[in-house]
Each structure stands twice: as C-alpha cells, then as structure tokens.
Chain A
C-alpha cells in the first residue's frame, strides 16, 4: 500500500448556517488518480478550496506526506507541492504561455533569467508528459484544451506533486478530454498524485483508481473504481435509487411550430459554430439536443431566439420568419409566443442585483399588465411575483429579496416561472437543470412535460445526457456545429455517446 499523499481528518466548514463540509475524512494514496464525485453543492469544491488554502476549515486536520500541516494561503499549498487547475482558468489572456507560467514565480526583478529557465523547464515537461504547447503563443489565441494544459504546466512548473483538477472536462471536446486523460495517466506513471473532481460518472469509471462520493457536505463512501458501477455511484450521490426517467405519457405531436432550415452561425472570430443545421419542433413534443458543451448548442439557441446574428439559413416561428441579422427584437419574438430560458441565468436570464419581483418581469416589462402609463405598476408586479412564487414553490418566498440570495435551483425556477407563465407557443430551454438540486430537477422536468402535454413545442438543450434521454420525444445530437444524428427516446447511452464523440472518435468512446 502506497503512503498517503494527502490525508484529511474530520474537516468541518460552515458558511453561516450552511454546513458545506461535515466531518470529512479522506485519504488519497500517492501515485494514484482519485476521483471525487457528488452533485452540485455537495461540498466538493469547498473541500478542495480548503486543501488549496482558499478557505480555512473550522476544524479538522490536513496531513500532507504524512505530516500535519496548516494551509492558510495558496502559497502554503504550492510550497507543499499541491497544484490546482481551476474550473475557470486563472490565466492572463493577453500574455504568452511562458509569461503565464512564470507569473507569481518570477524570482527576480528582471525576467530574463526566469524566462530562460522556464523555457528549458517547459521543454522538459513537454518531453516527459506529452504536454505540447507553444511557449510563445498568446493565451487568448489558444483553444480551451490547450489553455487547460497551460494551467497544468503552471502547477507542474511550481513543483506540484499533487494535482487537483476541478471539473476539467466541462469545457473540453471529447478529443481534448481524451488527450487530457492520457496526460493524467502519464502524470500518474511519473508518481504524481491526481485528484479529479467531477460529476460525470463516465470519467470516473474511465480513469480513476479510487473514487469518493460526497453528498450534502458529507463523505458517504470511498470505493476502488474497479469494484463499483455507475449505478452504485449514482445511487450514493443522490442518496436514493435514481429514477433517471420522468413519468410521461405518449406525445401527441401536432403542427410544426418551430422550424430551422440550413442555419449557419459564426462566432466573433469567424469560426463556424453552427453548421447547416435543420430541424423542426412540433407542438406537443419535446425535442432534445444532446452534445458535449461547446459544440454549437449555445450559438444555436441564441440564433433562434434572435440574439445572435446568423450567417445564413432560416428560422420559422409559427409559420413566420425570425429576423436572423442579430438585430431582432426579442420583445417582438416574445409577443409571437417564443419563450427562452437561457443557459446562463446569472448574466442573461436574470439580473442578480435585482429584487426577485423585478426579475419576474424581465423581458415582459413592456406588457401593459405591469405598467401604468410610463410607470411600473408595482402592486401588479408584486401580486404577480407572489403568484409565481406560490405556483413554482420558489423559496424563500420573498419577492423583495435580492435574486443573488436565492439558490441555483430557485433562481432557475424564477426564470422558468416567468417564461412558462406567459403561455408561450414555443419554449426553448438551455441547460434546464444546470446547478440545480435534485428536488428542483424533478419539479422542472415535470413542468416541462406539462408544457408539452398542453401542446407547446419544447426545445431542450442540455449537456446532461440523462436529462435529454428522460425528457425528449426526439433526440438530436450535435457535434462540431452539425446535427450528426437523430434518435428516439429509447436510444441507449452508448449510441448517443458515440454520436456525441463524433464518428471519427469511435474507438475512444468505447
């Protein structure tokens, strides 16, 4: 048995009344890849932030390499050989790779010597771990996968023996994820220890040696990966047998309500994000779009909802075309019965600094129900907000509370309540349950199906395959901007996974 690289004993951490970590014990063996899984809000990130010195534990001990240590800042962690690759990269966008790597480890007022040292060191790391990156490339010009590699290089350059990765594959294409896993395995072979935080069980099964499961701030189990199954881990994560499918009846598809033809969208750099996409959504059906994040789903939704300029193609809403120049008035599309629950509720779907009642009219503030001449009809807005709070069980039920103070699930309910209560003909939803707790997920899924049963056309985009499979009447798979396949709801995870990984990555997906 290898000696423990990290040992956490009885870690407790509270934020006000919320106990993010309770009495956590964790042992990570040296030279292994250790996965930590759990739902959003289970306390994984908090635990790793304690280990990396962002937070201090209220009580408990940390042992690194067998010795008790106190980690008060991330510098302490670095000195102990702990490196972290964050979910959101901490890189200076307009610096070169080399400059980013030496940032914080300059050692000298003049950069010349440390740059030379870093250059040779980078070459060595590249040779040993297959971490090829051009040291003189500017960060913002690199694809996400390479930026992540720079983060790893940064940690290794500082002498990290223990590498923590927080949700590393959320932003990667399947090919990039595969490459990352190869790198991690190589690191392991060189004797480094890797801690991988994720909520994707597939990754855990593919790469880890040991896996620990967190639920609601506690560590519920640790298993050798070989001896466990996806089903068991899912059950441990949620705390009950997971019903991955929502109860729903047969769909009764009606007339075409939303029609997309040959839609092509480019991003600001001119890269084609949506490539000649066509599909229809009928009233009374849910069409799900599956795919790894970053394969054009976001751009597709934005183009359909008139926010983003499309290069070519056509979108018909209830038989009439949508202005695709990017200058469409979303207000006018709302009047025509299009409701849009955006992927990014923090910056797009909500104004977090607003009171709840103010957000409950966002986008519908032109509606005369909420107005008295040029003035807001505060009484009507309040009554309306209270009504939605009750119907959608939004907690805490205080319409005067700042939206930022609601949990992710309740924030999502605020958006959903707003969009669904307008009785739209077409509802498009991006990531309906991202960052939402289990109870709310079930609620949201039931609402979406109720919308379908009322004869609305519902388009759902999600990176959670289970969600797509349980909600959709038809499943489209998007890869590299194109629809690469269509399946019924009975499609297996394997079939869809293959499509999501792109045809040329068939071997990798197995």
Chain B
C-alpha cells in the first residue's frame, strides 16, 4: 500500500520547500547564536552583508561558489545514474597533482591561455581516473561505490602528502607545497565585472574558473536531458531493470557516468590552485568535495538549482568568515555548525516538511495535486 506521494506544483516543489527548509535551518542556527550570547539578528545582518554588502564580499562569495558548482555538478551527474559519488573530495585533491605538474612544466614557456586548457585536461583526467577505479570495481566486482570512493579520498590524501613532501616541494623549502607558479599559470581575475557595477574591490580571488563553471553547468544540463548518453544514464538511475531491458550496458554506463563525475570533481581544483593560491598546497580542497553533496541535494541535481545552491554555500563561507571576525564569541566552528544545519535541513531532512505541505495543498484543492492518478496499484 504505497502512500500517495502527491505531486506539488513546480513553484512549491522548487521554491517553497527549499525556502522553508532554509528558514528552519536559520531559525535553529539563530538559537545557537543566542546560546553563545550574541544577537542572532545582528549575526544574520553581518552574514548577509559580509557576503553581498561590498564588492570584495561578492567576489569572494562567487569565488567559493565556483568550486561548489563543480563539486555539485559532479555529485549530480552520478546521482542521475543512480550512483552516489562521495569521493569528490579525493578526486578534486588528486586533480591538483595533475594541474601542478602541468603548471610547473609550462608556466615559464606558455601564456596562461595555453596553460589553462592543458591544466583543464590534466584536472579532468586525474579526477576521472580517480573515479574510474571505484567505478570499475562497482561495475565488475560489485564493490559498493560509496565505500570505495570514501576510501579513495584517504588514498588521495596520502598520495598528495607524499607527492608534495617528497617530490614537488622545492629543495630547501619548509612548506609542503610546490613553488609558486609564474604568470604563465595564473588565471585572470574577473573582479572587473563586479567593478562594472560600481563596487570597489581591494583584492579577491574571483577568476575565469567561474565562467568555466557556468559553462560546465550548461553542458551538464545538455548531457543529462538532451543527449542519448544522458537518457541512458537517467534510465539506469531510475531503474536498472528497465535499462537492462532497453539494452543499456550496466558496466559501460557506470564507467562513463563516474568518469564524467570524476572529471567535474577534478576541475574544481583549477579554481583555488590556478585562480587563487598559484601553488599546490596541502589540503587545498578543504571539504569542498563534501559540500558538493549538499549542493547537489539542495539543487535537486539540476544545474540551475546547483548554481543557486552553490551561491548560498558561497555566501555561508564568505559571510561566515566575516561573522567570525566581527563577533569574537562566534568562532570558526560556529560557522561550521550553521553550515551543518543548512545541510541538515536542506539536504538530509529535505522531505521532513513535504508530507505536511502536500497535505495542505491536497486539502486546498485535491485535484491539483493529482492524488487520484497516483492511486490504484492494487485491485
């Protein structure tokens, strides 16, 4: 006896429910702020102003969002194929190795616009390779992809420590990181776009990776909904049995979906490595791969939703940093708590309020939610 999971109008599904979830997350976060003896309303104002109030803030917000768009798209592509790629963190991290090698090799001889395409290929390639191994194990050996991709995060971390400390670190340097790249591997900033609107920017890392992220979002949309490959991935994601019936090879589709997912995860490393730090350092991914899971959940695995959700998390990162600076009682850990609450309510508890809202809609107008059509499996 299936519960009739009624369909909501699109505006409620994609607008109202995320808004309610977000509000609840912020209300609960407000209580946490009160607990440490600060004014939650002032905290909210600082958070939003820190993220969007000044040009520099906006640029930082978009810089963070860039990384999250890549990692969110990575998770979404896998989800459409019914796979949970939880290894974006490791795939992005190991991609830094590929980018580093390309940049160190070419930054003295090529201009940035030639280094950049090579670095994109290296990043996507390394990320894809790191996803390919778990994908192969899942497709051929049945090892669960959630477990293997998590394991590969740890392997990536260890490999990177080894590579940075023992291979890439310049002789005589104390820091476990590569030498700084020359201008031939520095990506141009996009801050001038924000300055067009009259805002002033002192220094912010927003760079052309943001445009690349938007292009990838469009390409992912095209892939999922407009190509044969995307059709096959969605078929397998919804029903492996139907995919088998339709002649879609399980092995092939798992490998392809994970390679694309891994490539997207790998590309997120371009943003911090080439756009900001201009070197490959230890732990430069710093959790962005995991944030991608929340971004994809919140964005309902749709590129438009992912871009918006990535902006929200970019805001939390940037505004949160301002908040920690302005309100000494609110530490860096508090910001993580607030981010966690957003993930909890917008992601994990996404369906918590749904039944009530559906009941509300159903009582307002029973025919609009189409319960009748869903009903009637049995006799």
Contacts and interface: CB of A to CB of B under 8 A. Distances in A.
Q: State yes or no: do A and B come from one complex.
A: yes
Interface of A: 14-18, 20, 38-42, 44-45, 49, 54, 86-87, 166-167, 197, 199, 305, 307, 329-334, 340, 342, 344, 347-354, 358, 362-363, 365-366, 371, 374-376, 378, 402, 404-408, 435
Given A20-B376, A39-B379, A331-B246, 17 more contacts: A15-B366, A15-B371, A16-B375, A17-B372, A40-B378, A166-B379, A167-B379, A199-B379, A305-B245, A307-B245, A347-B241, A351-B235, A362-B235, A362-B246, A365-B228, A365-B232, A407-B373
Given A347-B239, A358-B231, A376-B226, A15 B375 contact: yes
A393 B379 CA distance: 23
B226 A375 contact: yes
Given A16-B367, A17-B367, A375-B228, A334 B373 contact: no
A352 B370 CA distance: 15
B245 A363 contact: yes
A167 B379 CA distance: 9
12 contacts: A15-B371, A15-B372, A15-B376, A17-B366, A41-B376, A305-B245, A329-B247, A329-B249, A353-B238, A354-B235, A365-B231, A365-B232
B378 A405 contact: no
Contacts of B245: 305, 307, 330, 340, 342, 348-349, 362-363
A352 B367 CA distance: 20
Interface centre among B4, B373, B378, by most A CB within 10 Å? B378
B375 A405 contact: no
B22 to A, nearest CB: 26
What secondary structure prevails in chain B residues at the interface with A?
Answer: helix
- Between A333, A340, A353, the greatest number of chain B beta carbons within 10 A of the residue's beta carbon is seen for A353
Contacts of A349: 242, 245
Contacts of A54: 1
Contacts of B242: 347-351, 362
Given A15-B371, A376-B227, A405-B374, A330 B379 contact: no
A288 to B, nearest CB: 22
B139 to A, nearest CB: 14
B200 interface: no
Interface residues of B, number: 34
B229 A366 contact: no
Contacts of B249: 329
Interface of B: 1, 4, 7, 222, 226-229, 231-232, 234-235, 238-239, 241-242, 244-247, 249, 366-367, 369-379
Given A49-B1, A362-B242, A366-B247, A408 B379 contact: no
Contacts of B234: 351, 354
B239 A351 contact: yes
A348 B239 contact: yes
A17 B249 CA distance: 42
Contacts of B366: 14-17
A87 B226 CA distance: 40
A366 B379 contact: no
B367 to A, nearest CB: 5
A16 B379 contact: no
A331 B232 CA distance: 13
A353 B369 CA distance: 16
A16 to B, nearest CB: 3
A330 B247 contact: yes
A406 B374 CA distance: 8
B377 to A, nearest CB: 8
B228 A376 contact: yes
A405 B228 contact: no
Contact of A16 (B239, B370, B377): B370
A404 B371 CA distance: 11
Contacts of B374: 404-405
B372 A378 contact: no
B371 A16 contact: yes
Nearest to B235: A351
B241 A374 contact: no
A20 B231 contact: no
A209 B212 CA distance: 74
Contacts of B231: 358, 365, 376
